[in-house]
């Protein structure tokens, strides 16, 4: 990529002021595929100042101007979807088909959804709590620092960049240094779509360097971050000194509650969903809670389903999942698998080490543990790999209590044919999202969590409102 070692600042590709290089590795081969530069505080400051200057004019544009730009971005995005998919296959090791039809496609759908939201969105609305005639102005918050993860690059970039643009904000995007290549293609898309200079800026960098400089910068008015709970804590602390808004979408430890009357395929579908994207999804259903009368059969079904999932090279059309992102993640997942065994969880599929037919790459065996207890680390800690933990329950109340027994609260799942029970359980679950019988929330539905899973919402009108300030006006 011609601009891999440059940053996109003020409508131009610019070299770093003080270069620090980082090799980008393909996790399937462990080989270098590109080299990027890591931004320092001076580079971040240059990008923030460009966004600050551009805010003066961009914040005053009309809704129609912003709609026209979003539609131009969508056109360019569709034209470059294959390039985006190829970049994500290189940087993530994602199977080629999955990279195109899921990883790249989700960004397109988010752009489409935000266009629909913006078309009907009102930036002025009356105060309805009284008859004073007061008016609320919804105005762009300002310069936004957007920090995105490596596991769903285009999903998270479009969920932040597009609503920020729609709101009238300007921004500095810092994608994960583990998956920077697709973000560079996205910056080219923004340029070719005609985004005005300074409205969108991109710097590559790590959390300790570029991330810290961005979150603490006095001219950044909002930080939107997706990543680990640990990093979210640091970002919140960094942002506190300048009293900026912080929106966080963090980790998860989703429960999949399977009642005895659930569909015959509920267990196998739950295993597949847990291990999709190599288990690298914060909303993955990684805890399977099964009503006791069905539990023994469910364990056998889950083991069989996991054994059918093929971890393999991205170029192999038979591969269901690829590697995890890097050596650090591989080692951490291996340690958690071994800890689960040591704590007494019963291993029924997979286990430590790579799949037998793979001698290189950060591949994890699709793994299932049965007979877990709620206090085991495998039931409490986010693994972020293709690892499922199972345990039985006896009553509806126990299932809810078990689901709520972790500090996370992102997405939980319910499998039952009893709609009244599904509604009761959904009310009892402490999470930002509940999906019933694998009916997944559509694009444009807000997504986010509670507790250690973060705050704020992404997607839909609620996701647009995150980037707006409310101004009360009397006397109009």
Q: Does this chain's domain 7-250+452-473 share its CATH topology with 255-442?
A: no
Report the pLDDT averaged over residues 453-464: 98
- 100-126 pLDDT, tens digit per residue, is 999 999 999 999 999 999 999 999 999
Can you tell me the distance from the alpha carbon of 294 to that of 121, in angstroms, rounded to the nearest whole number?
A: 47
Q: Which of 456, 452, 420 is nearest to 436 (CA)?
A: 420
Report the pLDDT averaged over residues 244-250: 97
In this prediction, residue 19 carries a pLDDT of 75
- 30-88 pLDDT, tens digit per residue, is 999 999 999 999 999 999 999 999 999 999 999 999 999 999 999 999 999 999 999 99
- H helix runs in 318-418, sequence order: 327-342, 377-380, 396-403
Are 166 and 461 in contact, with CB atoms under 8 Å apart?
no
Q: Given pLDDT bands bounded at 50, 70 and 90, which one contains residue 229?
A: very high
In this prediction, residue 2 carries a pLDDT of 76
In this prediction, residue 3 carries a pLDDT of 86
- 164-190 pLDDT, tens digit per residue, is 999 999 999 999 999 999 999 999 999
For the chain, the structural domain boundaries read 7-250+452-473, 255-442
Can you tell me the distance from the alpha carbon of 284 to that of 410, in angstroms, rounded to the nearest whole number?
A: 9
- Mean pLDDT of the chain, nearest integer: 97
Dihedral in degrees, nearest 10, Cα atoms 451, 456, 461, 467: 180
- Give the CATH H-level superfamily of domain 7-250+452-473: Aldehyde Dehydrogenase; Chain A, domain 1 (3.40.605.10)
In this prediction, residue 277 carries a pLDDT of 98
Catalytic amino acids? Answer: 249, 282
- 208-221 pLDDT, tens digit per residue, is 999 999 999 999 99
List own/partner pairs for 415-423 with CB under 8 A and 24 or more apart. Answer: 415/256, 415/257, 415/258, 415/259, 415/262, 415/263, 415/266, 415/270, 416/257, 416/259, 416/261, 416/262, 417/261, 417/262, 417/263, 418/259, 418/261, 421/259, 421/396
CATH number, domain 255-442: 3.40.309.10
- 283-321 pLDDT, tens digit per residue, is 999 999 999 999 999 999 999 999 999 999 999 999 999
- 386-426 pLDDT, tens digit per residue, is 999 999 999 999 999 999 999 999 999 999 999 999 999 99
In this prediction, residue 1 carries a pLDDT of 67
Residues linked to residue 370 through DSSP beta bridges, in sequence order: 346
User: What percent of the chain has pLDDT above 90?
Assistant: 98
Q: Which residues 6+ apart lie within 8 Å of 191 measured at CB?
A: 8, 11
Q: Which residues 6+ apart lie within 8 Å of 277 measured at CB?
A: 94, 98, 102, 103, 151, 152, 284, 321
How many CA atoms within 13 Å lie on the side-chain side of 133? 3
Environment class of 475 (CB within 10 Å of its CB; exposed 0-12, middle 13-18, buried 19+): exposed
- 322-352 pLDDT, tens digit per residue, is 999 999 999 999 999 999 999 999 999 999 9
Q: Considering only CA atoms, give the Rg of the chain.
A: 23
Taking CA atoms, 93 is separated from 181, 335, 377, in Å, by: 12, 22, 28
Can you tell me the distance from the alpha carbon of 328 to that of 267, in angstroms, rounded to the nearest whole number?
A: 30
């Amino acid at each position: 990529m011609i601009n891999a070692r440059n940053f996109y600042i003020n409508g131009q590709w610019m070299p770093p002021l003080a270069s620090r290089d980082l090799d980008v590795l393909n996790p399937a081969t462990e080989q270098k595929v590109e080299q990027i530069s890591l931004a320092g505080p001076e580079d971040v400051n240059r990008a923030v100042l460009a966004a600050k200057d551009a805010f003066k004019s961009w914040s005053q544009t009309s809704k129609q101007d912003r709609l026209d730009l979003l539609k131009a971005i969508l056109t360019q995005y569709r034209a470059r979807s294959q390039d985006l998919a190829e970049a994500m296959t290189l940087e993530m090791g994602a199977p080629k088909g999955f990279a195109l039809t899921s990883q790249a496609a989700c960004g397109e759908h988010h752009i489409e959804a935000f266009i629909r939201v913006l078309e009907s969105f009102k930036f002025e609305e009356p105060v309805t709590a009284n008859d004073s005639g007061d008016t609320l102005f919804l105005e762009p918050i300002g310069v936004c620092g957007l920090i995105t993860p490596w596991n769903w690059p285009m999903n998270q970039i479009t969920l932040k960049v597009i609503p920020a643009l729609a709101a009238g904000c300007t921004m500095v995007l810092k994608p994960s240094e583990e998956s920077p290549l697709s973000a560079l293609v996205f910056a080219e898309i923004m340029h070719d779509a005609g985004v005005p200079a300074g409205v969108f800026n991109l710097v590559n960098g790590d959390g300790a360097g570029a991330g810290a400089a961005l979150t603490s910068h006095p001219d950044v008015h909002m930080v939107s971050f997706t990543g680990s709970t640990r990093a979210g804590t640091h970002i919140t602390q960094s942002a506190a000194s300048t009293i900026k808004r912080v929106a966080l979408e963090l980790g998860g430890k989703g429960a999949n509650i399977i009642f005895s009357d659930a569909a015959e395929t509920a267990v196998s579908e739950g295993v597949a969903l847990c291990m999709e994207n190599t288990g690298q999804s914060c909303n993955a259903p990684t805890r399977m809670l099964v009503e006791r009368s069905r539990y023994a059969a469910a364990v056998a079904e889950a083991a069989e389903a996991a054994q059918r999932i093929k971890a393999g090279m991205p170029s192999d059309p038979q591969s269901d999942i690829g590697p995890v992102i890097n050596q650090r993640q591989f080692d951490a997942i291996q340690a958690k698998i071994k800890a689960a065994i040591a704590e007494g969880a019963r291993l029924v599929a997979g286990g430590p080490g790579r799949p037998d037919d793979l001698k290189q790459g950060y591949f994890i065996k699709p793994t299932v543990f049965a007979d877990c207890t709620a206090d085991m680390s495998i039931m409490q800690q986010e693994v972020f790999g293709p690892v499922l933990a199972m345990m039985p329950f006896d009553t509806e109340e126990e299932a809810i209590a078990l689901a709520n027994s972790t500090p996370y609260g992102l997405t939980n799942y319910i499998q039952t044919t009893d709609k009244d029970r599904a509604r009761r359980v959904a009310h009892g679950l402490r999470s930002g999202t509940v999906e019933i019988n694998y009916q997944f929330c559509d694009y444009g539905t807000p997504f986010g969590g509670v507790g250690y899973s973060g705050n704020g919402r992404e997607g839909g009108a609620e996701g647009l409102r995150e980037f707006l300030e409310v101004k009360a006006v009397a006397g109009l």
